[in-house]
Amino acid sequence: MTSTSGAPDAILPDEIPPPVSDAELPTLRRRIQGVLIATQILGGLGIAIGVALAAVLAKDVSGTEALSGLASTATVAGPALLAMPLASLMATRGRRAGLVLAYLLGALGAVVVVVGAVVDSFPLLLVGLVGFGAGSSANLAARFAAADLAEPDHRARAISTVVWATTIGAVLGPNIAAPAGKSVSGLGIPATAGPFVWAAGVFVVSAVVVALLLRPDPLLTARALTDPGAGEKPESRSLRAGMRAVRESSQAQLALVTVAASHTAMVSIMSMTPVALSHHGAGIQLIGLVISGHIAGMYAFSPVMGWLSDRLGRLSVIGLAVGLLAVAALIAGTAGASHTQTAVGLFVLGLGWSAGLVSGSALLTDSVPQAARAAVQGLSDFVMNTAAGLGGLAAGLIVSQAGYGPLNAIAACLLLPMAALAVRGALRKA
């Protein structure tokens, strides 16, 4: 496979993967997955360390609780803004280049957050949090990297295994936020900014691991195996080609709606649950336990969702996602002062998100040509994060005007297009 001479987006000679035989593929798959799992743990740790105290830091710097919610909005804005440029880079240079860039931007953002905290600048803090959110872009893109070389009937399991690895970092992160804060005492850095110092280091380590060990590049290798001439057709890898691939595939459209609707419903409900709990007398410790249970539902059972997606089919698990998310909205929305019922609702919400993300990501990868996959996957992450960011902003307004119960009802309504497309897909398949 040769590159196109003079083309601005052609694959560089040193990026062309070496030939891989059928006998070497199983070993290569395991090695690539191992590297992705390791970086997913590290990346999840870096994100969770910072997110644990982002709102508190924003409150301290801004001097008001009213602006603290902008911290979560900024961290969601990062992945949304980076999704399309990252997809373009990966489509041209492969997964390794994109993941390294995302982790390094996350590290740079974390450093800017620390500087903003030291100089007491809220605008600078928000800029840093947007950059810090780029670390999430790397973790999101890693699930698609796991699918690049996976066999079609094991693709969902490959995705879910990498998603599951995030559990380790997500659980450890908040627990080491306090030691991270203490570690910067005496350096003139606020304790609430200490976690971002650690996050910057973790992201740099992640970037180094990817740069050194994610070889050969899984996307470029998969492309070479599927279409040996792909390196000579850069137009087939463009973002325009990716959008065209989605327009031409009803399955890809269903996958895109599934991922976006699942993520938006989850973020909208989850982001306002601590507020609803506090209104009913829950303390910080109880709120933390409820959110921990929610995170467990999101990540810990993703291998089960991957296995079901491969065994029963993507459409069946998309239907399961609709059911779980709807039930979660019903349970949480009618919980009232019952903290136990709210916790159950949030756990089921996490399960529904996991089912939607894993099955939707696998279906999206199945439904478009190999050359266009990176662009389509980037489009998916852009739509998902943009919709969730808007959903998170709207959720606060809905709760302030109508309450937590109506918010859950509105979030459940977001599932209707997803359900309609899934039914249409099932009828066509039948």
Helices (H) and strands (E) in the chain, counts: 18, 0
pLDDT reported for residue 273: 87
pLDDT reported for residue 354: 96
DSSP assignment of 16-37: SPPP--TTTHHHHHHHHHHHHH
Q: ∠ at Cα 250 (246, 256), nearest 5°? A: 55
End-to-end CA distance of the chain: 40
| pLDDT tops 60 at residue 5 | no
Q: Which tens digit of pLDDT belongs to each residue from 38-79?
A: 999 998 888 877 776 777 788 788 887 667 667 777 887 888
Distance CA 357, CA 320 (A): 12
* Residue 242: band (very low, low, confident or very high) from pLDDT cuts 50, 70, 90: confident
332 CB-side CA count, 13 A: 38
Percent share of the chain, pLDDT over 70: 90
* Residue 104: band (very low, low, confident or very high) from pLDDT cuts 50, 70, 90: very high
Distance CA 113, CA 200 (A): 10
Helix 250-279 to helix 415-429 angle (10° resolution) is 150
pLDDT reported for residue 4: 39
Q: Which tens digit of pLDDT belongs to each residue from 6-28?
A: 344 444 444 566 667 777 888 99
pLDDT reported for residue 54: 77
pLDDT reported for residue 266: 94
Tell which residue, 261, 134, 265, 147, has the closest CA to residue 206. 134
pLDDT reported for residue 235: 54
CB 141 within 8 A of CB 299: no
Distance CA 425, CA 85 (A): 31
The average confidence (pLDDT) of the chain is 86
- Residue 4, by phi and psi: left (phi above 0), alpha (psi -120 to 50) or beta? beta
DSSP assignment of 65-107: GGGTTHHHHHHHHHHHHHHHHHHHHHHHH-HHHHHHHHHHHHH
| pLDDT tops 90 at residue 321 | yes
Q: Which tens digit of pLDDT belongs to each residue from 228-241?
A: 655 445 555 666 77
Task: Say if residue 76 is exposed, middle or buried (CB neighbours under 10 Å; 0-12, 13-18, 19+).
Answer: buried
pLDDT reported for residue 113: 95
pTM of the model: 0.83
Residue written as token pair 């059911």: 323
CB 135 within 8 A of CB 199: yes
Distance CA 73, CA 392 (A): 7
pLDDT reported for residue 17: 64
| pLDDT tops 90 at residue 405 | yes
Q: Which tens digit of pLDDT belongs to each residue from 133-173?
A: 888 889 888 989 999 999 989 999 999 999 898 888 877 77
Q: Which residue has the higher pLDDT, 34 or 70?
A: 34
Q: Which residue has the higher pLDDT, 413 or 393?
A: 413
Quote the distance between the C-alpha of residue 5 and its chain's center.
Answer: 35
pLDDT reported for residue 274: 81
Distance CA 260, CA 381 (A): 8
Q: Which tens digit of pLDDT belongs to each residue from 352-398?
A: 999 999 999 999 999 998 888 888 988 998 899 888 888 877 888 88
Please name the residues in contact with 405: beta carbons below 8 A apart, sequence gap of 6 or more: 333, 334
Q: What letter would DSSP give residue 370?
A: G
Over range 103-109, report the average pLDDT: 96
* Residue 225: band (very low, low, confident or very high) from pLDDT cuts 50, 70, 90: confident
